Chain A
């Protein structure tokens, strides 16, 4: 665990290194709490979700609040956590993590498809993909998308390296 291959550009402050440290911490916590050998399928599934959430969360935390999407993601996590605990929390929808009901989306998409070119439909789709995308105009949306893609690729790279490493060590 200590010899995880870390390829960081700057030793201390790059996004990659921050993400790596956070994510590995979360991963160790999860594997400690949830021993693998004794997992039932449902536990496996839960564990998968936890890891996925941990990965996304680590990335969002590494980005802090510098980006709209990371802020949206973090507020989503917080609201979800409070919802789990049973309280009716007032979900902050300033960053609009909840999209309008699907029926409404479909209607607007069809309308726009017939009205204008297909660009509106695609921008809407992009809005759904990028967290916090509903509240952004197209220009910012593209910007956020670029940063989001960058972070996602970092995430995937790191996770892949971890997988490879563990595979090798076996």
Chain B
């Protein structure tokens, strides 16, 4: 049956169907699980981004549950300008194993406290948790960005820098909120917990902190970090110089050299990077949906997508045509298995055929004429060719699809067809074999044969409908 064709275009279940309510537990997983923390972030990165964006917008106070794409789309630019000063992307992620061990140590030592505190209280207020999760979002986003941006072999140095960043932010937060220069990691947990009740004010404060200046902020943090050497830095940073050189070559074409430590990155480049990443994600998702999606080039992928959408829309059109039941002429046509299957049932201009026999030869002639006409038109302009075909109620179709349809329908047609040969004009297949069209190689849809098949079928069915 033609269901074999539909299997071609089966829809994959959308893995990202639900965007809400998953960010926070995800972040907790990220920070609680000791292994492969960075790789965990890879997946729902878009959610984090949205969460971050929503949180970074001080005026809006969007609760975490309300991460809609639409709402956040235009917040990106303004969001990143103030906060991007804080962002630094030292180096690529650490994906090697010993990096993970470093990470684990650091994460366990520094972050176990604050995050574990977070799991206790059941989110009294969205703002509080938003303020707290802002940190998480930022960290997670940074980690993720490292992973995405970095490609070269990760080194522990980069991991250390990331940890450093996290701690800096933690400490800054504590500075602002708690008002005490907390240094030890344990104090970090306490400081953050006490500031849960900060609410909007704390959010604003946080926002200001991060917006005020990366330089002195990070400098201060660095000094704090230096003081912190007891637990964290000995393992990681102590010996390493803080020479945050830009390490890897930029991956994205527009990216400049990564910022050195203590230097603000251009907010525009960050926003740009973010945008590109999201677009790449979406393209990947689309690639799964669209068949024949082995193109690596963005432009050709977009072409495929456009063609596929056109194809689907045209299919809907044709299928709705096929349900008309056509004129009464169609039924006798089909039941006799008439050679002429091209029925311009939709167009009011064409005349329905009422008798088969004498019309069959002329039908064939008409078909070849149509074919020639269309071929001529196609050389000039695909658009007009398509329009011509549509005016006749016909469509184009790639050969493979056409043969599949014809075999399917001829099989199902057998009880009705007495003897007719399918070879003559019964398939009007005008294939534009690859690369003809200006934009796309594959024009598509259904032959009217299948449409008229549906016609005959539906008439019987429709008759049963109208008579109760």
Contacts and interface: CB of A to CB of B under 8 A. Distances in A.
**Pairs of residues from A and B, 9 with the lowest C-beta to C-beta distance, nearest first:** A167-B457, A170-B460, A166-B461, A142-B282, A36-B325, A152-B312, A41-B348, A51-B320, A52-B320
A168 B415 CA distance: 10
Given A44-B327, A44-B348, A45-B347, A149 B312 contact: yes
Interface string A137-162: 11110110111111011111101111
Contacts of A37: 325, 328, 459
B320 A159 contact: yes
A162 B416 CA distance: 18
A52 to B, nearest CB: 4
Contact of B458 (A54, A153, A163): A163
Given A122-B303, A123-B302, A150-B289, A164 B2 contact: yes
A138 B279 contact: yes
B324 A150 contact: no
A122 B305 CA distance: 10
A160 B6 contact: yes
A39 interface: yes
B461 A68 contact: no
Interface residues of B, number: 71
A164 B1 CA distance: 8
A125 B69 CA distance: 22
A36 B289 contact: no
A148 B309 contact: yes
19 contacts: A39-B327, A40-B348, A48-B320, A55-B320, A118-B299, A122-B303, A142-B279, A148-B309, A149-B289, A160-B2, A161-B3, A163-B457, A163-B458, A165-B457, A167-B457, A169-B457, A169-B460, A169-B461, A170-B416
Interface in A8-57: 27-28, 31-32, 35-37, 39-42, 44-45, 47-48, 51-52, 54-56
A56 B325 CA distance: 20
Given A142-B285, A167-B456, 18 more contacts: A1-B465, A31-B462, A31-B465, A36-B325, A44-B324, A44-B326, A44-B346, A55-B316, A129-B310, A142-B283, A147-B14, A156-B312, A163-B454, A164-B1, A166-B460, A167-B457, A169-B461, A170-B457
A28 to B, nearest CB: 6
A30 to B, nearest CB: 9
B306 A125 contact: yes
A156 B9 contact: yes
A91 interface: no
Nearest to A143: B282
Interface residues of A, number: 62
Nearest to B346: A48
A140 B76 CA distance: 13
A153 to B, nearest CB: 5
Interface string A52-89: 10111000000000001000000000000000000000
B446 to A, nearest CB: 9
Contacts of B278: 139
Nearest to A33: B466
Contact of A41 (B1, B286, B327): B327
A150 B323 CA distance: 22
Contacts of B348: 40-42, 44-45
A91 B436 CA distance: 39
B442 to A, nearest CB: 16
Interface string B278-293: 1100110110011000
Given A35-B466, A153-B10, A166 B324 contact: no
A117 B2 CA distance: 39
Nearest to A37: B328
B83 interface: no
Given A36-B462, A45-B347, A52-B316, A126 B309 contact: yes
Nearest to B10: A153
Contacts of A27: 323
